[in-house]
Amino acid sequence: MVRTWDDEAAESAQLVANDERGTNLIFRTMHNTARVAKNAISDEVVAIEKRGNATFADVKDLVAGTRGAGVLDAGEMDAGIWSAGQTQGLIHDIPTCKDQGVDVQYLMLRAMFLPGKVTPEETAFYVNLFKKVTETAEYKDYMEKQALKPIFLTGKDMLKFLEEDEAVNKSLMTEAGFVAN
């Protein structure tokens, strides 16, 4: 499934609609209380605990992190659990940077770096390995689902990119007042 801005907007709308009572306390009977967003999964965990003598084994499949990732990955608000505090009731909107007058795009670097003093043969091995990875269907699918740009750089091209990216980031951080003089 490819995520869209509409998916994000729908999730944001539900999060904004929640109030301070839109949470459940789970694991109370196990003396490890956690406050999570109220949804079908957390309601089910609460119900299991209310039956009595519940153990973690009784709820582990419901509270698994991989299930919670489905909330973010697929936009399914009932796919799993996620931490949420009562302060969610104070959130009335989720403006974008552009809405706030800051028209920026942010690039988050995802790269592999080798340690210093590797041989040219070792470098070639890993460059070829990662090049092959980028050609797989799984990699292409991941890049599309995560809305990532499939760029493969090595050597001088990568060094040039890093230098230019550092200059852009330093400029942005300086302009925003995050860099000390």
DSSP string computed for 115-136: PTT--HHHHHHHHHHHHHHHTS
Instruction: Indicate whether 63 belongs to any domain.
Output: yes
Q: For tokens 């009572």, what's the residue?
A: 21
Inter-residue contact 56 to 37 (CB < 8 Å): no
Which pLDDT value is given to residue 101?
A: 83
Question: What is the identity of the amino acid at 141?
Answer: D
The residues near 124 (Cβ < 8 Å, ≥ 6 apart) are none
| 74 plus 111 within the same structural domain | no
In a domain, 181, yes or no: no
Q: Give a yes or no: residue 180 inside a domain.
A: no
Which pLDDT score, from 0 to 100, does residue 10 have? 63
Q: Could you give the 3-state DSSP secondary structure of residue 45? A: helix
Tokens of 80: 């799993």
What's the pTM value of the predicted model, to 2 decimals?
0.56
Phi, psi of 129 (to 5 degrees): -60, -50
Q: Indicate if 84 and 122 belong to the same structural domain.
A: no
* Residue 51 and residue 18 share a domain: yes
User: Which pLDDT score is estimated for 39?
Assistant: 92
The residue from 73, 90, 107 where one domain ends is 90
Q: Domain check: are 15 and 84 in the same one?
A: yes
- pLDDT given at position 5: 53
Total number of domains in the chain: 2
Contact 100, 34 (CB under 8 A): no
Tens digit of each residue's pLDDT, the chain (181 residues): 455 555 566 667 777 888 889 999 999 999 999 999 899 999 999 999 999 999 999 999 999 988 887 777 777 888 889 888 888 888 888 887 788 887 776 667 788 899 989 999 999 999 999 999 999 999 998 888 777 888 899 999 999 999 998 898 888 888 878 877 6
Domain annotation covers residue 54: yes
Continuous segment of H or E residues that includes residue 159: helix 155-175
| Domain residue limits at 150 | 99-175
